[in-house]
Amino acid sequence: MTQSPSSKADAPEPAQERQTILRLDGVSKIYRSGEFEVKAIDDVTFHVRGGEIVAVMGPSGSGKTTLLTIAGALLTPTVGRVEVCGIDVSGMSESQLAGIRRNKVGFVYQSSNLLEALTALENVRIVSQNHADDKQAAGERAKDVLEMFGLGHRMNALPKNMSDGEKQRVAIARALAKDPELLLADEPTANLDAKRGHEVMELLRQKAMELNKAVVVVSHDNRIRQFADRVVWLEDGRLSDDETHSV
Give me the residues that bind another protein (CB under 8 A), please.
65, 68-69, 72, 74-75, 94-95, 98-103, 105, 107, 109-111, 113, 115-118, 122, 126-127, 130-131, 186
- Shortest distance, position 117 Cβ to another protein, whole Å: 4
CB crowding 120-143: b at 16 or more within 10 Å, else e: bbbbbbbbbbebbeeeeebbebbb
If DSSP codes are grouped into helix, strand and coil, which group holds residue 222? helix
Q: Which is nearer to another protein, 51 or 188 (CB)?
A: 188
Alpha helices in the chain (DSSP H): 6-10, 64-71, 94-104, 120-131, 135-148, 164-177, 194-210
Q: What are phi and psi of 214, to 5 degrees?
A: -85, 125
Q: Which is nearer to another protein, 148 or 190 (CB)?
A: 190
- Shortest distance, position 244 Cβ to another protein, whole Å: 27
Q: Which is nearer to another protein, 81 or 102 (CB)?
A: 102
- Shortest distance, position 11 Cβ to another protein, whole Å: 31
Q: Which is nearer to another protein, 101 or 213 (CB)?
A: 101
Cβ–Cβ under 8 Å, residues 170 and 112? yes
Cβ–Cβ under 8 Å, residues 42 and 239? no
- Shortest distance, position 1 Cβ to another protein, whole Å: 25
